[in-house]
Amino acid sequence: MLHNIIFIRVIFKMNSPLYRMLFWKIAGVIQTVDFAILLPLIARFPIKAGYFLLIIRAWLNSAFRCDWRSVALKTRHIERRSRLAYSLMFPELTETLLMDLVKKRYRSEAREEFEGCLIAARRVNQLDYQIYPDAFMQRCLNRNEGLVLLTPHFDSFLLGVVFLGLAGVKINVMTSSITHHSKVNSAVSRYFFRKYRGMERFLNGGLMLDRENGLRPFYKMLERGECLVVLADLPYLGKGTMTSATFLGLRREFAGGAVRMAQKTGSELGGYVCRFEGTGSYSVRGSHIFKSANSFSIDQVYEFLSNEIMRSPGHWVASDLLPDFSQVD
């Protein structure tokens, strides 16, 4: 009997390898059920009921903090790095307030995943949205050259792409094949595939293509005078083109492929964010549109994005990337 008790204690000791193996195995099973069954099911409920059930899922996400990237790598690195990022942004905050921001980040991610299922279920026409200012919308619609729009992993960023498409913009999106890495849960990979293919139905002939397959298609889009959305909050990791801009109070190094494409094709440069305003209601706010050749254009766009993130820092889903940014003297 005593041996059995000791054995059970060893198995469930929090820091034991066996405990961690069991924990991540169970987390993987739950994630499969969540992405393959529960999320698509909730997205088919009446809109108000779906958003109500989303509150429960968002609370569970913030309580257990097991996002798809953490489960893939079997470590809570997103939680740790997000907390570090917020401490860098707000060094005066207490531990409690920092963790409140981390929890908001998980709730925002849960909502964005639900929105992806609404897109796949072709229900975005049941959502309300507004795009402002009018000058931004007109520049997106009426152009003689290409347009690169930068947006961070913030709030409802991909739903913003769909709303721009619904407003009549032919819009393309640069994606990444990381969501189909062998370590990523197959249910999660299928979720991203369905979301991206669902988005393409609203892009007026635009495409969503992985950058790993080459940049030439994106150059051609811009040369045809089309709009291309690129995620703006990716740090420069020593390969490819680098650009720098003042972002969240410091000058930082970014992956510069998007800016380089805009400059080489003579395209314009701008940014936008999409915010969740309440059940089924959203707003898209755009920046000024600049000539990419102007030296100040990059800083202006990143200043706009920084200000939007600082308004709701807990909605920045990619906050965990901030520690990876190198600072420029």
- In this structure, the answer to whether residues 149 and 238 fall within a common structural domain is yes
Q: Residue 179 carries which DSSP code? A: G
Number of structural domains, the chain? 2
- In this structure, the answer to whether residues 147 and 131 fall within a common structural domain is yes
**Token pair of 33 as six digits:** 């059920």
Q: Is residue 54 part of a domain?
A: yes
Give dist(CA 64, CA 265) in Å, integer.
46
Q: Provide the residue range defining the domain that includes 284.
A: 124-324
- pLDDT band at 13; cut points 50, 70, 90: low
Over 70: is that where the pLDDT of 127 sits? yes
Q: What pLDDT score was predicted for residue 58? A: 93
Pick left, alpha or beta for residue 254 (phi over 0 → left; psi -120 to 50 → alpha; otherwise beta).
beta
Q: Is residue 160 part of a domain?
A: yes
- In this structure, the answer to whether residues 142 and 95 fall within a common structural domain is no
- pLDDT band at 323; cut points 50, 70, 90: very high
Mean pLDDT (the chain, rounded)? 93
- In this structure, the answer to whether residues 128 and 21 fall within a common structural domain is no
Render 274-329 in DSSP notation, one character per residue: EEEEETTEEEEEE---EETTSTTHHHHHHHHHHHHHHHSGGGBTTGGGGGGPPBP-
Q: What is the pLDDT of residues 218-230, one digit of tens each?
A: 999 999 999 999 9
Distance (Å) of CA 26 to CA 22, 134, 140, 180, 263: 6, 49, 46, 21, 48
- In this structure, the answer to whether residues 136 and 99 fall within a common structural domain is no
- pLDDT band at 262; cut points 50, 70, 90: very high
Among residues 120, 142, 173, the one where a domain terminates is 120
- In this structure, the answer to whether residues 291 and 151 fall within a common structural domain is yes
Q: Is residue 236 part of a domain?
A: yes
- In this structure, the answer to whether residues 145 and 269 fall within a common structural domain is yes
Q: Is residue 241 part of a domain?
A: yes
Q: Is residue 329 part of a domain?
A: no
- In this structure, the answer to whether residues 250 and 215 fall within a common structural domain is yes
Among residues 92, 120, 148, the one where a domain terminates is 120
- pLDDT band at 23; cut points 50, 70, 90: confident
How do strand 281-286 and strand 268-278 relate by DSSP bridges? antiparallel
- In this structure, the answer to whether residues 88 and 13 fall within a common structural domain is yes
Q: Is 85 helix (H, G, I), strand (E, B) or coil?
A: helix
**Token pair of 130 as six digits:** 């507004």
Q: Is residue 184 part of a domain?
A: yes
Q: What pLDDT score was predicted for residue 239? A: 84
Residue 25 one-letter amino acid: K
* 327 vs 309 pLDDT, higher one: 309
- In this structure, the answer to whether residues 129 and 115 fall within a common structural domain is no
How do strand 147-151 and strand 268-278 relate by DSSP bridges? parallel
**Token pair of 323 as six digits:** 């520690």
- In this structure, the answer to whether residues 109 and 174 fall within a common structural domain is no
Q: Is residue 27 part of a domain?
A: yes
Give dist(CA 228, CA 168) in Å, integer.
14
Q: Is residue 190 part of a domain?
A: yes
Among residues 120, 143, 163, the one where a domain terminates is 120
- In this structure, the answer to whether residues 64 and 208 fall within a common structural domain is no
